Structure 1
Amino acid sequence: MKTEYENIKRIEAFIGGYFVTSYTFKIEFVRSEVIWEAVGDDFEPALMIQMDNESMNTFKEGISKCRILSWKNNYTDPHILDGTQWSLDIEFDDLRIEKSGSNAYPRE
C-alpha cells in the first residue's frame, strides 16, 4: 500500500523577500528531476540534477518526517510587514495542495 507521500508527483517551493534574492525549488518525482533556481538581481543559472531512485525515496522519507501534508494552509506573523515569504505547491495526479507563509513557519 502506498502512503500519501509516495503518491506525490511534483513539488514546487519558493522562499524570498523584499530586496533579497529569492529561490525556487522544483522536484519532479516521475522524471526524478530537481531544479534549483535563484530569482532576482543576483542572477545565478538554474541548477538541474537528475536523481536516482534511492535519492528520491530518501527525499520522500524526509518530507514525510516533516509532515508537510499536515501543515496548515497559511502561516502569517501579522506583526511583520516585510521579511520572508514562502510557498509550497504539492501536486498529485488529481489534486494540488498549496501551503504558504509570511514571516511564520510550521514547527517542523
Structure 2
Amino acid sequence: MKTEYENIKRIVASVGGYFGTSYTVEVEFDRGKITWEARGDDFEPGLILQLDIESMNTFREALSKSRILSWKNEYIDPNTLDGTQWSLDIEFDDICIEKSGSNDYPKEWKRFCKVIHKLTGKPFE
C-alpha cells in the first residue's frame, strides 16, 4: 500500500521577501526532475537536476519526516509587515494542496529547508 507521500506527483516551494534573494524549487517525482532558481540581489544561475528512483524515494522519506502534509494551510505573524513569505504547493493526481506563510512557519520548516538544500546543494532559506 502506498503512503500519502508516495502519491505526491510534484511539489513547488518558494521562499523569500521584498529584500534579498528569493528561491524556488520544483520537484517532479515521476520524471525525477528538480529545478531550482534564485531571484534577487545576487545573481546565481538556475539548476536542473535529474535524479534516479532511489534518490527520489530518499527525498520522499525526508519530506515525510518534515511532515509537510500535516502542516496548517497558513502561518501568519500579524505583527510583522515586511519579512519573509513562503509557499508550498503539493500536487497529487486529483488535488493540489497549498500551504503558505508570512513571517511564521511550521515547527518542521528548518528541517524542510535543509532537505531542499541537501537535494539541490543550493540555498533555500
Superposition TM-score, scaled by structure 1 size: 0.96
Matches within 5 A, 1:2-41: 2-41=2-41
Measure the CA separation in 2 of the matches of 1:44 and 1:30. 27
Deviations 1:7-39 (A, max 9, x none): 000000000001211000000001000111002
The unaligned stretches of length 5 or more in structure 2 are 109-125
Identical residues among aligned pairs (%): 72
RMSD: 0.8
Does the residue aligned with 2:82 lie in a helix, a strand or coil?
coil
Measure the CA separation in 1 of the matches of 2:27 and 2:36. 9
Matches within 5 A, 1:1-108: 1-108=1-108
Structure that is richer in strand per residue: 1
The unaligned stretches of length 5 or more in structure 1 are none
Measure the CA separation in 2 of the matches of 1:19 and 1:69. 29
Structure that is richer in helix per residue: 2
Query: Residue type matched to 1:21 in 2?
Result: T
Number of equivalenced pairs: 108
Query: Residue type matched to 1:33 in 2?
Result: K
Does the residue aligned with 1:24 lie in a helix, a strand or coil?
strand
Does the residue aligned with 1:42 lie in a helix, a strand or coil?
coil
Measure the CA separation in 2 of the matches of 1:43 and 1:30. 30
Query: Residue type matched to 2:80 in 1?
Result: I
Post-superposition shift, 1:43?
2.8
Segments ≥4 residues shifted beyond 3 Å? none
